[in-house]
Amino acid sequence: MALRFERLKWQDWKGAFTERNYERGRRLALDGLVQLRSAAKGQLYAECHSPAGPAYRQAISLRAGETAWRVDARCTCPVGRNCKHAAAALIELERLQRSEAELPATPVANPELPQPVLILGSHTQIDYDRHIGKMRPTVRHRAALAFAYGPRRLFGALPRTPDASYPTRQLQAEQRWRQTLLDHGLRLATRRSAALPEDSGEMFELPDDPAWLRFVQQVIPGLREAGWQIEAQPEFTFDLTPVAGWYGHLEEVQGHTAADAQFDVELGIRLGQRRVSLIPLLIDAIRREPSQYEPAMLAKRADDEPVLLRIDPPRVTGQQGRVQRVAVPLGRLKPILQILGELYATDRLSQDRALRLPRLDAARLAELDERLPLEWEGGERLRSFAERLRSYAAEPVVLPDTLHAELRPYQREGVAWLQALRELDVGGILADDMGLGKTLQTLAHILVEQAAGRLTAPALIVMPTSLIPNWQDEIARFAPGLRVLTLQGSARSSRFERIPEHDVVLTTYALLPRDAERLASYDFHLQVLDEAQSIKNAATKAAQAARHLRARHRLCLTGTPLENHLGELWSQFHFLMPGWLGDEKGFKQAYRIPVEREGDVQRLAALKARVWPFMLRRTKQRVASELPPKTEIIQLVELSTAQRERYEDLRLLLDERVRAEIARQGIGRSQLLILDALLRLRQVCCDLRLVPNEDDSVAKPSAKLAALNERLDALLPGGSRVLVFSQFTSMLDLIATDLDQRGIEYVTLTGETRDRRTPVQRFQNGEVPVFLLSLKAGGSGLNLTAADTVIHFDPWWNPAAEQQASDRAYRIGQDRPVFVYKLIARGTLEERIQQLQQEKARLSAGILSENSGDWRLTESDLAQLLAPLDR
């Protein structure tokens, strides 16, 4: 049966709409939200209201095909074409036809009144582009305006000798319609173009493609509704097909390891019932104009800028389809273009319908989900993987009672992130700023694993030698229930067989290569590298040994994941997930050379996008609202062997001398001798070169000086400004000499400094990052708000004086949290003084300071202070 406009059947036109739009349109029609304005001769005009939104106008043209209607449905809604509103209008027309209701009156054409006709066309020609110095294709567009007087189309000037059949021209009406185009930005074309034949009508043009697109999308629907006849030639670039939907298809490709696994992702659009992959179309666009799709250029282009894509007809034997064109907002394409740009830069871009990416890159699917209205097919595990990494904080972790600490909100998020990494079987870098509690978060993570029954093998923690006492003390303080084994010293050989009996095993980078073979015979649940920048050179024996140990999960802790070059970051990820960033040579070619030598922001952005899901970094500024205004941190330092020996020899000598003096004069009259004895022990704790009559011809290491250097190495690359206080000006001289050798700029303020203003101004103005100060000269009267970190090299036993010195940085005008570090020699009188300060408030009056006040040591205090070194 022939198709008849007067007897529409939904089966004959439904194929022009997606199932979703058809069903939505049916509901709109059933709700009585459609009003027909006219319907005749295959042309329908209607208005459709949204349930809670504006009304949209539709202009629908039906042309009979062999078996179905060819539908050209335009709408003023954002979709623009073949939308739910147009489907609703056709369904309403059918309903009225079936009920034989009177259709809206169709305006009777007045033969005296012409109908404006607008013909649109495009033409591609090869022109010379002086900007790039070569020939390139250029597309020009034209709009031709003519006026239909019955079957005849007229335009231009009146003929000089019109024949009798020539209609009477309505010049005023023609001028109004001509002015309509001018009002919408069109101008009379001044040059000829092959876009349309010259006899099509009066030629108009627009300045550029965006103007044409706006005209087609925003103006043409209104012209149609006003009775204009619009004809778009097949070659017209902006005769756009509406996008009915977006889809994403995922397929996993298994590998031998997590780093080897891959997946294929296809991203595309639906045009009616047809699916079109965007990957080849965008690859073609990048290859034609790569400069337009570089990150810097993409950032400048607006998200709402339309990207025009030409879609060739499907290849069907014996049939010739129509070229379709779509306009897609650039903002929706940016995440896809970023991935394609990376592959283009590394020559790994193929013309396939799908992209093949490493499984670990699935974390970036979350960004696609945010920017695109995708309907996903397959890849449920991959999408769950991506969502878990992105929303780790949405699943708070229940902390066990075995954790003796109250975590701040950002620390709880950190533990949740560590749990997500474990759950997804990937490694990561906890890169919080120094002082934000990386150790505490790691211990909380271990305790959660223990409470869940997953800690069936120990956690191995590798660190610089100086941090062993810190970890021991932090575990004792926050996780006393953990069984800890420390592999250190010559006696460690007998301890290896006890590894399975413990929850945590501590070792050092220095010992790791020596013990690698024995450690390799054990399985570990978790392998943690603290101060992971220590393996920044992947070729070192420590880095190689770390990579060859067996552990279910791996974690790096560092406040400075990148110090000098990108190779350091590669080395850490090579430990965490071998192969994910390629081999070292490939990484150098793909990232290091373009970024470090050429300043390639595209390559840098690509690297950031790959590593960000597996690196958690919070700066002090970012979590400032969660931090107290001043945070005090005690860092225990293990004395060097030479310092331990000298300390113990001197302690024995002084203990005997002090006891003899007390026996002779009593403790009250022996205070000066006692203070002098303790002062000499404090000098040993700082540096042996401070001890009078000490043979310093042979350089002996200072554990505190090494700890200070490590702290500065971690702080200064991040822009921190540091105050270093010492009671000994001779110690400041030694620190200054060391800073000179290391090329670190500083200023100094002691009692011998005559010009106090200059060093203060240089530090406050940001000229130097380190300020060395003595107690007398710098303990009061200074405003050093440029500093965010205070380091007490040797303790000031008067807490009030120590507080006063710290407050050089923590003053009115300081807008950042201040971190105060106290370097305390472990097991020595320095640590015992700290304990005594907490136990006996009377010590706060000024132990060992020049201003001791009325404070006096008791014999029990003295016995505690002069006790042997803790072993």
Residue 290 has pLDDT above 80, yes or no: no
Structure tokens that stand for 853 in this block: 């006040």
Cα–Cα distance between 850 and 147 in angstroms, integer?
105
* End-of-domain residue from the set 359, 390, 421: 390
What pLDDT digit, counting tens, does each position of 70-96 carry? Answer: 888 877 776 777 889 999 999 999 988
Residue type, 184: H
Residue 410 and residue 447 in one domain: yes
Looking at per-residue confidence, does 352 or 565 come out higher?
Answer: 565
When pLDDT is averaged across residues 762-787 and rounded to a whole number, the result is 81
* End-of-domain residue from the set 623, 653, 681: 623
Residue 554 and residue 605 in one domain: yes
840 falls in which pLDDT band (50, 70, 90)?
very low
- Supply the CATH number for residue 440's domain: 3.40.50.10810
When pLDDT is averaged across residues 134-157 and rounded to a whole number, the result is 86
Looking at per-residue confidence, does 719 or 378 come out higher?
Answer: 719
855 falls in which pLDDT band (50, 70, 90)?
very low
Specify the pLDDT at position 632: 85
Domain presence at residue 548:
yes
Domain count, the chain: 5
Residue 200 and residue 257 in one domain: no
3-state secondary structure string across 640-666: CHHHHHHHHHHHHHHHHHHHHHHHHHC
Specify the pLDDT at position 161: 72
Nearest to 578 by CA among 616, 609, 549: 549
**Phi, psi torsion values for 454, nearest 5 degrees:** -90, -15
With contact defined as beta carbons under 8 Å apart, do 588 and 569 qualify? Answer: no
| 649 Cβ neighbours under 8 A, 6+ residues apart | none
Domain presence at residue 770:
yes
Residue 677 and residue 567 in one domain: no
Domain presence at residue 110:
no
With contact defined as beta carbons under 8 Å apart, do 565 and 571 qualify? Answer: no
What pLDDT digit, counting tens, does each position of 186-198 carry? Answer: 999 988 888 999 9
Residue 798 has pLDDT above 70, yes or no: no
Scanning 790-871, the segments in alpha helix (DSSP H) are 799-806, 829-839, 859-865
Domain presence at residue 628:
no
Structure tokens that stand for 740 in this block: 């000179």
| 718 Cβ neighbours under 8 A, 6+ residues apart | 433, 559, 560, 619
Q: Quote the domain boundaries for residue 470.
A: 394-623
Domain presence at residue 75:
yes
- Characterize 97-124 residue by residue with b for buried, 16 or more Cβ atoms within 10 angstroms of its Cβ, and e for exposed: beeeeeebeeeeeeeeebbbbbbbbbbe
* End-of-domain residue from the set 566, 594, 623: 623
Average pLDDT, the chain: 82
Cα–Cα distance between 309 and 312 in angstroms, integer?
10
Specify the pLDDT at position 316: 53
Residue 38 and residue 76 in one domain: yes
What pLDDT digit, counting tens, does each position of 297-336 carry? Answer: 777 788 778 888 888 877 655 545 567 888 888 888 877 7
Residue 399 and residue 417 in one domain: yes
What dihedral angle (degrees, nearest 10) is formed by the CA atoms of 583, 585, 591, 595?
150
Looking at per-residue confidence, does 553 or 753 come out higher?
Answer: 553
Cα–Cα distance between 532 and 511 in angstroms, integer?
15
Strands 306-311 and 324-329: antiparallel
839 falls in which pLDDT band (50, 70, 90)?
low
Three-state DSSP at 834 gives: helix
Helices 671-686 & 829-839 angle (0-180, nearest 10): 120
Q: What pTM was estimated for this model as a whole?
A: 0.59
Looking at per-residue confidence, does 811 or 337 come out higher?
Answer: 337
Residue 676 and residue 662 in one domain: yes
- Supply the CATH number for residue 803's domain: 3.40.50.300
856 falls in which pLDDT band (50, 70, 90)?
low
- Select, from the ranges 367-376, 419-428, 669-678, the one with the highest average predicted confidence (pLDDT): 419-428
Domain presence at residue 27:
yes
Residue 404 and residue 548 in one domain: yes
Neighbouring CB atoms inside 10 A of 63's CB total 11
Residue 398 and residue 384 in one domain: no
Residue 386 and residue 452 in one domain: no
Half-sphere exposure of 588 (CA within 13 A, CB side): 4
Residue 333 and residue 283 in one domain: yes
Sign of the four-CA dihedral 333, 339, 340, 345:
positive
To the nearest whole percent, how much of the chain has pLDDT over 70? 87
Residue 293 and residue 409 in one domain: no
- Quote the distance between the C-alpha of residue 743 and its chain's center: 33
- Supply the CATH number for residue 39's domain: 3.30.310
Domain presence at residue 211:
yes
Residue 676 has pLDDT above 60, yes or no: yes
Domain presence at residue 237:
no
What pLDDT digit, counting tens, does each position of 712-740 carry? Answer: 998 898 888 999 999 899 999 999 999 99
